[in-house]
Structure 1
Amino acid sequence: MAALIVLLAIGRVICLVPSIVAVERGHHQTMAIVALNIFTGWTFIGWVAALVWSLTMVVRVQGDRGTVPLTGQSYFGPPQLLGADHQSERSPERRLELLAKIDPPKKHRN
């Protein structure tokens, strides 16, 4: 009976590996990865998709207050680096400004 409980516990941890990886890496899509893992992780395809997604590149930008995830979200809430006025970091204008720092617009040749 004890062996069965241990096997079930190990199985549960293995099922949650994609979520654990996303949280530990500070992935900018952690909540979506956790949701995918919870709702489709019981299927092999859903589990692999969540694992691959959790291992993709984490998008971060260097802002005035340090390096933060592009979405303004880290783990399960706003980053500690942003402070009280973190809502201004989520405005569409600010996101476009941050995106321009990552991938500046290319100039067209005439």
Structure 2
Amino acid sequence: VVGGLVAAGLIAILIVFSLMGRQGDSSVLFSNLSPGDSMEIQSHLDRLGVPYHVSKKGALIRVPSKDVYALRMQLSDEGLPRHHGAGFDIFNHPSLATTDFRPEGSVS
């Protein structure tokens, strides 16, 4: 009985470590994707033969860690993702809370 419990415990530990190992070699390529962007990116990854994992109803795509940066550059060249967040561009457009005050200074 004790031997069976020890064996079951060891098997459970091996399963946990193998699952953790699989997650460790993949990284997030993109997150918060629109459904359209997710489908286009998946199509590109299929054509490139890159293994990927989709979660959160397609909003998150994971790829092998070694490929993340190259894939981001390659997909960026294709204009993907098309619908992304505002990023630093939000600072280029004044909001309702913005005042007309602009500090003026001179550089001597």
User: TM > 0.5 between the two?
Assistant: no
TM-score using structure 2 length: 0.30
TM-score using structure 1 length: 0.30
Q: Which has the higher contact order (CA 8 A, sep 6+)?
A: 2
Q: In proportion to residue count, which structure has more strand?
A: 2
